[in-house]
């Protein structure tokens, strides 16, 4: 393999890492936004929060499971 081909493969790998990390952080920020909305809902609804904010709590719980941050070393194994 030539030096140029090796450099190109390395460059592509770094770009893939950056894309993965960027997407992972976007998902983490989405989880944060849902958590903030859930807190607002709970404060606003008071004693009725368990009923009226359940859909948001369920969404937050599912997002916590699905959107965990992973470093690039985990992906490359």
Range of the domain at 35: 3-75
- For residue range 52-67, what is the model confidence (pLDDT) as tens digits? 999 999 999 999 888 8
Q: What is the pLDDT of residue 71?
A: 66
Confidence of residue 2 (pLDDT cuts 50, 70, 90): confident
Number of domains observed in the structure of the chain: 1
Residues contacting residue 41 through CB under 8 Å, at least 6 positions apart: 49, 52, 53, 56
pTM for this predicted structure? 0.74
């Amino acid at each position: 393999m030539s030096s140029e081909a090796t450099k190109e493969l390395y460059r592509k790998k770094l770009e893939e890492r950056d894309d993965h990390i960027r997407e992972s952080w976007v998902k983490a920020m989405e989880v944060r936004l849902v958590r903030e909305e859930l807190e607002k809902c709970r404060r606003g609804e008071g004693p009725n929060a368990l009923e009226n904010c359940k859909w948001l709590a369920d969404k937050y719980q599912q997002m916590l499971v699905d959107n965990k941050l992973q470093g690039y070393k985990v992906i490359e194994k």
